[in-house]
Amino acid sequence: MFAMIVADSAQWWQQLWNGIISWDFLQFVVAFLTVFGFVLTSATILVLAERKVLAWMQDRQGPLHTGPWGLLQSVADVGKLLLKEDIHVSHSDKLMFLLSPAVFMAPVIATFAALPFSPYIQLPGGALTTGLVFLVAMSSIDVVGVIMAGWGSNNKYSLIGGLRSAAQMISYELPLVLAFVGVIMLTSVLAGQPGFPHHDTPGIGSIAPYEIMQFQNAAWRNTGIPVLDFIFQGFTPWTWFFLFQPLMLIIYYTCALAETNRAPFDLPEAESELVAGYMTEYSGMRWAMFFLGEYGNMTIASAVASYLFLGGFAGPGVSWLTAQHSLLWGFVGNILALGYFIFKIYALCAVFIWVRGTLPRLRADQLMQFAWLILMPVTLGNILVTGVLYFVTSGLPIWAYLIILAVVNWAGVFGFIWLVGRVTTATTRRAQAPAIRAQLRAKAATPVPALRDGVPSRVALPAGNRD
């Protein structure tokens, strides 16, 4: 009996050791460290970039004094937050108050589990087959953390800020998810075509981000010309989905702005009204975790957009180099893929900063009307149009359907811009009407001085007002 226990223990330790020294375990360690390090460092980089870009847009200098060109300003901010006192509010719900920053921050790291950074820097075992569902589920947990922060603070302003944020995030999450449907329909259309994924199961698309990326980069057929194969193998930007669904990219990005509480949808943190909203009672590193989560959500939204619409980490040379089955060239190919992916993420994050420095904050009624009365009907209409066009053009080649869909969708982009402009003007006039009428009534009640040759004449003042 003792010998059997010893033998089983030895076998278990041998299996554990084989797992630790395997390539899959090394891949997991590399992917985990890359994701964790990227999320933590991305926030500090984006904070500095936002200060510099906004200063450039507003003709200011930006941070200058901490480090060369102010490059160490974010490092100084991190040190300041680490040294700040962590103040707890009296008569608050301690458990919710202490756990809400972790609940808000945890999905930021977990979400990147479904987003490979390169062919090797991803969790072992292949892409998560239910990747989009996992992403949507993780994004929904942020709402719980926001409500916990507002309730646990025992502050009416924090509670109002948390409820406003929850209403905003839930409202804009619906059109954000519907924007995914157009992309999934395109994968279903391309499934079964030669060279595309799921060629043996025509009509069945994918909700895995990695496979959606492959659908956008599988149009190239090897020509035997080394230069062209090196550039375009696994990299065909003329089939990226933003060309066929540009309207959904705009709507997804708009919803991402609202989901991350960024301008012009930053009502939950309206400083003039709610004193930073649900974060009012937080200080030190707990406040920094909310701040880190906001910029982490920016990178997640940009990463998802790059996968669904901009080809993911695909770029010239990645597929060709990784297909050589060489350790050196495979390493180079993965570094290239990582560089392409990070470049796309920060390019989309720059649009976040650009929008913040350009657009004013919306009113609460405009924010909710925009989600329910404009974005929801537009996304549902896009799904209907995409399906109807497929059935109407069923007798034509796939490329003809894609061209017609692209033309219709780009026309929808200009129609959407016109619609938003008209609605914004109408709602602004409606909101300003009471104030304008009050000003007109006040002007009518004020006596107008008599004019003589264009110069107001003296008006006799009532007795007692001559001073």
pLDDT tens for 301-359 read: 999 999 999 999 999 999 999 988 888 999 999 999 999 999 999 999 999 999 988 88
Which residues have CB under 8 Å from 303's CB, separation 6+? Answer: 112, 115, 341, 345
Which residues in the chain land under pLDDT 70? 1-21, 125-128, 269-276, 444-467
pLDDT of residue 340: 95
pLDDT of residue 281: 85
In DSSP terms, 451 is beta-bridged to 456
Domain boundaries, the chain: 108-141+154-430
pLDDT of residue 275: 66
pTM: 0.86
pLDDT of residue 70: 85
Measure the CA–CA gap between 280 and 465, rounded to whole angstroms: 48
pLDDT of residue 126: 53
pLDDT digits (tens, 9 = 90+) for 194-244: 888 877 778 788 888 888 999 999 888 888 888 999 999 999 999 999 999
Which residues have CB under 8 Å from 333's CB, separation 6+? Answer: 118, 119, 317, 318, 319, 320, 321, 322, 324
Nearest to residue 302, comparing CAs of 245, 264, 271, 257? 257
pLDDT of residue 11: 66
Residue 58 CA to its chain's centroid (Å):
24
